[in-house]
A and B are shown apart, each in its own frame.
Chain A
Amino acid sequence: MSDVLVFVEFSDGAATKAGLQALGAGSTLAKALGGKAIALVIGNNASELGKHGADRVLVAGGDAVGSYSPDGFARIVAEHARSTGAAAVLASATPMGKDFFPRAAAIAKCGLAADCVELKVEGGKPRAVRPVFAGKALATVEAPGTLWATLRPNVFAEVSTGNSAAPETVPVTFGPGDLKAVVKEIVAGVKGKLDVAEAEIVVSGGRGLKDPAGEGKQNWANLDALAEALGAATGASRAVVDAGWRPHGEQVGQTGKTVSPKLYIACGISGAIQHLAGMSGSKVIVAINKDDNAPIFKVADYGIVGTVEDVVPALTAALKETLGS
């Protein structure tokens, strides 16, 4: 019992970045435990995963997995957690992983360490570190048996290996009629829009940008332009989501999404404690605010004191120049 099973998430036929990061983390953990990293892929072709840390690759396919189903995916992962006897079972803490991994852990009669930011081995056992209260504290947890964990995107590194792990097809023991919930249709958001929880760079706006239906219209356009220049996702403070200025899917903080991008740019956000909790795990934080006493400057690595009207478009121009050089 020293192997690590990793559910690798796919999207549009390719492994997602978060999925490869989870595989990287699983590969590192398996080495520390003296076992193998076993990738599990559902409903996709997975010939490349040996290059990303997998010692073995299991592929479950068939009619029952044509569309995503939380109970269906949970059954498959629980079945292979059992058959491999893995010491740890991992997935990405993405909307999909967060949805079905609790069901999978429950089938295995195990708890779940959700949204972990560190994995380690202590006393021969896997342990996980996870933020609680949106990062106001960090809990180190362990399980009496198998450790089930989901991993926060953008925290763990992908690994590069030369394993020639040929995909092993594994049977799915149930049919489409056995599933309790299956996606019927996808109601598309903005095509290709980056999720704020998975983006490497996040540009967030707060109340300082003012009402987008009124005098703040240009400010929000400027914010979107800054995000576009950086290939960033856009985030928002609770105040602007509560005001209906931005969709709640963009909200960052204890009552929104907790993010750990490599760069977080907070524009016109004063920095309420529940917002700071949701983003203080970012590698580098930039704050733009006209009030030099704003709490956001206490967590920022770099700050500019100034209005969003002045600074945001200037920053977009400066970054375009830097990125172009």
Chain B
Amino acid sequence: MDIIVCIRRAPTTDARIKPASDGKNYDPAGVNYDISEYDKFAIEAGILLKEKHGGTVTILTLGPSAATKEMRTAIAMGCDAAHLLVSDANHDSWATAQALADKIKTLPHDMVLFGWNSVDNQSSATGQMVAELLGLPSVSVAVALDVADGQATVDRLAAGGNRERYSVKLPAVVTCTKGLNKPRSANMKGIMAAKKTAVPETPANAPADGVAVVKLDPPPARPEGKIVGKGAEAAAVLAKLLREEAKVI
């Protein structure tokens, strides 16, 4: 199987995010980066499919040159190759999807995997948009994935904890979430192999954003709260406040 896993370099989830002086982007000062959380489940899913069915796993990223670090982490986990489409801009999902789809068209692909949502832009859209651009079926938010006889059986998390089961023909796009698998850590052999693996970089041909950020603001500050009291005795006071002051029950 030829498997492509699209991953994103994103600020770590413990990063403090402040608007930059241009008022549109975030200030990168002091921000550390990692593979966007859910993409790790996509990497693991790709490696598991390769282990079961044979083939290769190729990592594809749109991002700055610095993203080769995260891509090498994926190779160290067990992926075989990587391509970086170089761009320093924070593209939206539509621009990202077009750049990725253009590249995927040139690569053999039976399965294209994504994390279901990025921890920064949080559009949960790029995978489905790539599927539409390539004319492929898509199943998002996968919690179970199995491939047999050119078909993928995928369970996705739907409303209220229900799972919707799909059977789709390959090639297909699947976006992955927590619960699908347990992403492995890289071992020493993988880390050494990743060091030796070339990550070709080509300038991204990313078109204009579909939605443009005109302003980035910090969230409104919450008003100062109050400690109602200590222990079980405070419960009745709280219940009264929720009804009479906050009026939420």
Q: Known pairs A132-B122, A181-B172; list 16 more (Cβ under 8 Å).
A: A94-B159, A106-B128, A137-B26, A137-B216, A138-B218, A143-B212, A148-B211, A183-B164, A189-B160, A247-B161, A249-B179, A302-B226, A303-B225, A304-B229, A318-B238, A323-B249
Judge whether B188 is part of the interface by a CB distance below 8 angstroms. no
Q: Is the CB of B129 within 8 A of A138?
A: no
Which one, B163, B211, B212, B248, contacts A263 given CB within 8 A?
A: B248
Q: Would you call the interface of chain B mostly helix, strand, loop, or mixed?
A: mixed
Chain A residue contacts of B92, Cβ below 8 A: 111
Chain B residue contacts of A317, Cβ below 8 A: 235
Known: A138-B217, A284-B248. A184 touches B242 (CB 8 A): no
Judge whether B108 is part of the interface by a CB distance below 8 angstroms. no
Which of A51-59, A79-87, A112-120, A208-216 is near enough to bind chain B? A112-120
Q: Is the CB of B141 within 8 A of A95?
A: yes
> How does the 8 Å CB contact mask read for B158-187 relative to A, with 1 for contact and 0 for none?
111111111111001000011100000000
Q: Is the CB of B140 within 8 A of A70?
A: yes
For chain A, the count of residues having a C-beta within 8 Å of the partner chain is: 105
Judge whether A217 is part of the interface by a CB distance below 8 angstroms. no
Query: Bound complex: CA of A186 vs CA of B18, how far in Å?
Result: 42
Query: Bound complex: CA of A201 vs CA of B249, how far in Å?
Result: 9
Which one, B214, B222, B228, contacts A304 given CB within 8 A?
A: B228
Q: Is the CB of B232 within 8 A of A302?
A: no
Which of A30-38, A41-49, A191-199 is near enough to bind chain B? A191-199
Q: List 17 A-B contacts (CB under 8 A).
A: A71-B132, A103-B138, A133-B120, A136-B219, A181-B166, A183-B165, A190-B161, A198-B159, A298-B225, A302-B226, A304-B228, A304-B230, A306-B232, A307-B231, A314-B233, A315-B235, A322-B242
Known: A180-B137, A248-B178. A137 touches B162 (CB 8 A): no
Size category, B interface: 35 or more
Which positions 86-103 of chain A face chain B at CB distance < 8 Å? 94-96, 98-103
